[in-house]
């Protein structure tokens, strides 16, 4: 049973139970699609490192940490000295990832603060969905590959093949040695995912020849995005003896890796010893009626929460997605267009005005179907 009464819902087009349950894991948080372990193993067959090389590897969409765990184990088997880093916004997944990843931040990637050029490898499996003006895959690509890796840092990008067209320009301008493979036949048809390998370009003057090469690479990637399954080699292609990407030592030592999100625990950690006691005494003098809230006491909102409030809380990771044994809840925010006719004050003519506004809803995945709670 659902955890609250459904007042109004819309049942979407009926789908087979297998399709619904397969998508539950992928859409439960902002379109996150965990990489199948079989595909991850094929991805890593083209990745190597020299013995005793210190490397820092990052997964900014870490999920439960399995992909990063496999990357670290693979490079350690090659003899590298590997330190793993991850970022995960959803609380339950962050707790799980923290078990296997050396340094895990429970926050969004925008709240991550790290040393520039401090990572040797970045594995990016971003949310798969539209985000207002552009695809989220492109947003994550732009924000996370600006300065996280130094020259020759290895980038591995997991995304749907059609979205490769949206990302082609950025990939061509930032990376060299680009190769594209698709998932194997066992997993490709479900989500049409491809893997892009590339090494971070060195800075410097962009010559005319370099611009021409970048334009050619962009065109090739855009064409690959549109041609479909049979235009791309699968990951299990027998070329791993020829294609090897070497993970190198980062360009700069990683001195900083933290979240700029301030939590209650962060505040409590600073209020220890004499300094903390002094702060408490000053607060007591300034506010004699001050009472500290017991963290085990659950506060009740003054007014009942609306669906939009709950949807936002789920999407932000504050509330858990799993609220029952047989269903998942997803907070979804969409941009809704509204059109209206109004008189232009300057011309006196009637004209159409189009505006957009955010609209939040809760999407429920269960074996009985997909429901939107408005």
The pLDDT tens digits of the residues spanning 301-342 come to 777 777 667 766 666 656 655 556 667 777 666 777 777 777
- Kindly report which listed range (18-32, 154-168, 191-205, 296-310) carries the lowest average pLDDT score: 18-32
- 3-state class of 68 per DSSP? helix
pLDDT tens-place string over residues 245-270:
999 999 999 999 999 887 766 666 66
Instruction: Decide: 76 and 47 in contact? Cβ < 8 Å.
Output: no
Higher pLDDT, 37 or 295: 37
Instruction: Decide: 122 and 200 in contact? Cβ < 8 Å.
Output: no
What predicted TM-score, i.e. pTM, was given to this entire model?
Answer: 0.70
Question: Which two structure tokens, joined as six digits, stand for 48?
Answer: 């190597």
**Angle value at C-alpha 128, between 106 and 311, nearest 5 degrees:** 60
**DSSP E strands, the chain:** 9-11, 47-48, 54-59, 81-87, 103-105, 112-114, 119-124, 130-131, 134-135, 149-160, 175-182, 193-200, 245-246, 257-259, 327-343, 350-366, 369-373
Q: Are strands 54-59 and 257-259 parallel, antiparallel or unpaired?
A: unpaired
- Kindly report which listed range (34-43, 264-273, 358-367) carries the lowest average pLDDT score: 264-273
Residues in Cβ contact with 116 at an 8 Å cutoff, skipping those fewer than 6 apart: 147, 148, 252
């Amino acid at each position: 049973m659902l955890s609250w009464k459904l007042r109004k819902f819309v049942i979407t087009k009926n789908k087979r139970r297998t399709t619904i349950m397969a998508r539950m894991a992928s859409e439960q948080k902002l379109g996150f699609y965990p990489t199948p372990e079989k595909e991850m193993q094929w991805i890593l067959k083209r990745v190597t490192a020299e013995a005793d090389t210190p490397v820092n590897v990052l997964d900014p969409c870490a999920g439960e940490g399995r992909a990063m765990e496999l990357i670290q184990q693979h490079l350690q088997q090659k003899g590298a000295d590997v330190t793993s880093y991850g970022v995960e916004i959803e609380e339950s997944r962050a707790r799980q990832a923290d078990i296997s990843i050396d340094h895990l931040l429970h926050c969004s990637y925008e709240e991550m603060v790290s040393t520039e050029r401090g990572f040797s490898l970045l594995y990016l499996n971003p949310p798969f969905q539209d985000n207002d003006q552009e695809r989220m895959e492109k947003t994550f690509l732009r924000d996370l590959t600006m300065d996280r890796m130094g020259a020759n840092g290895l980038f591995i990008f997991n995304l749907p093949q059609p979205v490769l067209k949206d990302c082609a320009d950025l990939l061509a301008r930032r990376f060299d040695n680009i190769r594209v493979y698709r998932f194997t036949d066992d997993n490709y048809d479900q989500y049409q995912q491809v893997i892009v390998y590339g090494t971070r370009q060195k800075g410097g003057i962009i010559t005319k020849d370099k611009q021409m090469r970048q334009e050619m690479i962009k065109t090739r990637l855009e064409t690959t995005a549109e041609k479909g399954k049979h235009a791309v080699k699968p990951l299990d292609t027998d070329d791993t003896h020829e294609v090897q990407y070497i993970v190198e030592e980062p360009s700069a030592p990683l001195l900083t890796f933290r979240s700029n999100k301030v939590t209650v625990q962060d505040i409590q950690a600073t209020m220890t010893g004499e300094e903390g006691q002094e702060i408490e005494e000053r607060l007591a003098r300034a506010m004699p009626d001050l009472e500290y809230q017991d963290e085990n006491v659950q506060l009740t909102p003054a007014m009942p929460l609306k669906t939009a409030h709950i949807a936002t809380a789920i999407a932000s990771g504050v509330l858990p997605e799993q609220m029952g044994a047989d269903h998942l809840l997803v907070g979804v925010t969409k941009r809704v267009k509204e059109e209206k006719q109004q008189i232009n004050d300057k011309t006196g003519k009637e004209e159409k005005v189009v505006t957009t506004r955010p609209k939040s809803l809760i999407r429920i995945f269960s074996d009985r179907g997909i429901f939107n709670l408005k």
